[in-house]
Structure 1
Amino acid sequence: MVGTTEATGQNVHANGLIQNSNGSLEEKLDELRHLMGKAEGDPLRIVGVGAGAWGSVFTALLQDSYGHLRDKVLIRIWRRPGRAVDRATAEHLFEVINSREDVLRRLIRRCAYLKYVEARLGDRTLYADEILKDGFCLNMIDTPLCPLKVVANLQEAVWDADIVINGLPSTETRQVFEEIRRYWQERITVPVIISLAKGVEAELGPQPRILTPTQMINRATGIPIENILYLGGPNIASEIYNKEYANARICGAEKWRKPLAKFLRQPHFIVWDNGDLVTHEVMGGLKNVYAIGAGMVAALTNESATSKSVYFAHCTSEMIFITHLLAEEPEKLAGPLLADTYVTLLKGRNAWYGQQLAKGALSLEMGDSIKGKGMIQGVSAVKAFYELLSQFSLSVLHPEENKHVAPVELCPILRMLYKILITREFPLQAILEALRDETMYDPKDRIEIAQTHVFYRPSLLGQQP
């Protein structure tokens, strides 16, 4: 176990906090087991589905905390087999291993070191599911995790799972959970699902609305929405695993969110709970849209603090406008949304993607699944929000032209990102032209319009007026 001193039975974390691993952890596990109706001798089965950076870290955090209680809990993770690790990544992985004495010793003790030597020399091919067993996530090579129990067969992984962690991108969630449904046909108990996915789709008929990963899971599996939760927050996966202080919210039905918040909470990772499932989930997808543009502006202006602040003012005003369309009490979302946006702009993969596009290191033709980073969720989110807010049935009164327009007409940054990333009508530099347009409204005007509360459309989140 990472950071464990066996003599004291305590986890000593890098930030100096100490957590007792015998008393409180076991008590929290017992409480959750009792709530889920687990009998003595029947372990709680927790399965991560999808092994991107956040999904792998989340599963590894649980393994670090509870993995030693093997008679009470079994923790495993599923990822697709067959993804080869290229030679350059294998060489870098070898450097990471040799720079960490604890990792090096662990691999030697497990008789696993030689295969990394051979891969470094080009004498054998490593696979993503293979290295994950040793604690290496392909999307986060620089941050070794604890060894994980990896299952490459989806049916074997999930058929008897009590808790499923959805670590898949939103673009893959529906397909995988439709397959999972087949394996749950004969189930008597209903599993609990915690979704980590931050992404959305637009559903334009019969009424325009946003479709979130928890809703996709509900439709695909038939699992009641009361048993599906969303967990998100302003955090970077590698930093959380390295015990940087972080917080998150688990959102959903009270029966599950409160005990799960307690179960997941650690000294360095504080988990709060909230009943507003879909709105928090949608906001997690919204900030990815504007993070891509922020990365573009940073690269195109040589990291100009002034230009970045101009962009930030405009993009946050658009996000505030959109939240007022989506949420009845949008003010409650301001803090979480801005915090999540801030961390994504600082170090998130969507801002990084925008930077790399603007620098020419990546091209749009390469798609939105990038080696070493995984899925860039913001690209599909740009398409979803644009398509949704382009519907004239959602029209709002234009503040100056005294006519009704689709909401997207009041979101020039979103419009330009769509024309750059999706239809590719404009080059990346057009994001600066949008910012420098002298006809663009003062951001405060858009916020004032939003705060009149006349734009709220409950149907956008599938809620009744």
Structure 2
Amino acid sequence: MASKQSSPHKVAAVLGAGRFGTAVANLVAPNVERLFLYAHRAEQACAWQASRRVGDVPLAANVVVSNDLEMVLRICSVIFPVVPAAQFRGLMQQIAPAIRPDHLLIHGTKGLHIYEDGDLPFAQSVATMSRVMVQETKVQAVGCLAGPNLSAELAQKHPAVAVVASASRKVLAVGEQLLTNPWFRVYTSVNLNGVEMCNVLKNIFAIGAGIIGGMGYGANTYAFFITMAISEMDCIMAATGTPSNGLLGPAGLGDLIATCGSTTSRNYTIGYRLAKGEQLTDILKDVKGVSEGVQTVQTICAVMQSYGKQAPITEAIYRMLFEELPVQKGLDVMLGG
């Protein structure tokens, strides 16, 4: 187990004080002397630092909530960016002047970025968060944290597992050291692209699982759907040239089962309410936080079309979300009917 005494990194930082960012901060805190949790809004940072809570989640004693990004980047060599995909590139551009080549960046963002300011074919304009980090900053060592890590359960310290992926052995060692706890097991993988893609794709199928739940189907149908979903993930990764050797690990099957089986998941909630007859625009007004799956459905549909490949479940969910395909017909397509 990692410890404060054995870790050469006395301070670390999490950028983003959302539910998952706060959970990551509390995970790392026992293994460092101080953990800085960066909040974008100064008034929130002050309030959370004073109350020692973010929402209903208590903060570890050595977590410092700060709005001073320059200070945080100056004194912390290990940074965990955990913000929604839509904000990720902007954050990287903001921190780029202060990022040194020796910084280690391990992100926890479950989404893709689309570069819309170039002349590349669509499929080549889609970037993982690790690619964004390398393109927008001088950092040389990047990684990703992924797995079946529902924020509410992490806050309660339920036994869990994750994977840290990177091409850098140093990032793997530091990530494993800083995140490991008695109840939180960390594996490592050099398959960064594969882990990131698994991390992204499961959000699509969480919407599908919500549709199945909203239609009133039970465990048999859920298991049928998970079987179909893991097969489609494999097809998508093959079409995009992404190594799929992590598909049955924590970031693939593990995260797929957890997210598709959680009725508290934002993406599951979207699918559930869609099955109950609500419109997507109305659902998104009510769902708190960012639901990465909606954008991911759009992106993966476009990517697969650009490759001339099919992803039946993803396409059916897209049509139900954006083209008013009746839910029962969409479900038939999802399950190969």
TM-score by length of 1: 0.64
1:276 to 177, 181, 191: 191
1:199 to 100, 104, 111: 111
Q: What is the Cα deviation at residue 201 of structure 1? A: 3.3
- Answering whether residue 322 of structure 2 is matched by residue 407 of structure 1, we say no
- Answering whether residue 317 of structure 2 is matched by residue 417 of structure 1, we say yes
Distance 1:232 1:332, change over 3 A: closer
Distance 1:173 1:223, change over 3 A: same
- Answering whether residue 325 of structure 2 is matched by residue 426 of structure 1, we say yes
Query: Equivalent residue of 1:418, what SS?
Result: helix
Who is 1:222 aligned against? 138
Superposed CA deviations along residues 110-153 of structure 1, whole A, max 9, x for unmatched, are xxxxxxxxxxxxxxxxx576236534334xx3x43435411124
Who is 1:451 aligned against? none
Distance 1:358 1:131, change over 3 A: farther
Task: Select between 265-274 and 346-355 the one with higher mean Cα deviation.
Answer: 346-355
Output the CA distance in 2 between the equivalents of 1:190 and 1:355.
45
Who is 2:22 aligned against? 56
Q: What is the Cα deviation at residue 230 of structure 1? A: 0.5
2:4 to 15, 26, 30: 26
After TM superposition, list the pairs within 5 Å mapping 1:284-303 onto structure 2: 284-300=199-215, 302-303=216-217
Output the CA distance in 2 between the equivalents of 1:283 and 1:199.
10
Query: Equivalent residue of 1:28, what SS?
Result: coil
Who is 1:8 aligned against? none
Q: What is the Cα deviation at residue 437 of structure 1? A: 6.2
Output the CA distance in 1 between the equivalents of 2:139 and 2:246.
29
Query: Residues 110 and 196 of structure 2 are in contact (CA less than 8 Å); yes or no, is this contact kept in structure 1?
Result: yes
Distance 1:350 1:129, change over 3 A: farther
Output the CA distance in 2 between the equivalents of 1:436 and 1:163.
44
Output the CA distance in 2 between the equivalents of 1:342 and 1:47.
29
- Answering whether residue 39 of structure 2 is matched by residue 79 of structure 1, we say yes
Output the CA distance in 2 between the equivalents of 1:258 and 1:354.
38
TM-score by length of 2: 0.86
After TM superposition, list the pairs within 5 Å mapping 1:27-426 onto structure 2: 27-29=5-7, 32-33=8-9, 44-63=10-29, 65-66=30-31, 73-81=33-41, 127=44, 130-131=47-48, 133-138=50-55, 141=56, 143-146=57-60, 148-184=63-99, 190-202=102-114, 206-207=120-121, 208-209=123-124, 210-224=126-140, 227-252=141-166, 253-300=168-215, 302-327=216-241, 330-336=244-250, 337-347=252-262, 348-359=265-276, 363-365=280-282, 367=284, 370-371=287-288, 374-391=289-306, 394=307, 406-408=308-310, 411-421=311-321, 423-426=322-325
Distance 1:132 1:356, change over 3 A: farther
Query: Equivalent residue of 1:390, what SS?
Result: helix
Output the CA distance in 1 between the equivalents of 2:161 and 2:192.
17
Which entry has the higher C-alpha Rg, 1 or 2?
Answer: 1
Q: What is the Cα deviation at residue 382 of structure 1? A: 0.8
Query: Equivalent residue of 1:367, what SS?
Result: helix
Output the CA distance in 2 between the equivalents of 1:269 and 1:155.
31
Query: Equivalent residue of 2:54, what SS?
Result: coil
Superposed CA deviations along residues 201-239 of structure 1, whole A, max 9, x for unmatched, are 356953523411111111121322xx1111111222222
Output the CA distance in 2 between the equivalents of 1:156 and 1:150.
12
Q: What is the Cα deviation at residue 343 of structure 1? A: 0.6
Distance 1:368 1:384, change over 3 A: farther
Distance 1:382 1:132, change over 3 A: farther
Query: Equivalent residue of 1:27, what SS?
Result: coil
Query: Residues 81 and 128 of structure 1 are in contact (CA less than 8 Å); yes or no, is this contact kept in structure 2?
Result: yes
Superposed CA deviations along residues 71-124 of structure 1, whole A, max 9, x for unmatched, are xx43111112278xxxxxxxxxxxxxxxxxxxxxxxxxxxxxxxxxxxxxxxxx
**One-letter amino acid of the structure 1 residue matched with residue 333 of structure 2:** A
Output the CA distance in 2 between the equivalents of 1:246 and 1:26.
21
Output the CA distance in 2 between the equivalents of 1:338 and 1:130.
38
Query: Equivalent residue of 2:4, what SS?
Result: helix
Output the CA distance in 1 between the equivalents of 2:189 and 2:245.
15
RMSD: 2.8
**One-letter amino acid of the structure 2 residue matched with residue 309 of structure 1:** A
Unaligned runs of 5+ in 1: 1-18, 34-43, 68-72, 84-126, 395-405, 439-465
Q: What is the Cα deviation at residue 287 of structure 1? A: 0.9
Distance 1:165 1:335, change over 3 A: closer
Aligned residues between the structures: 328
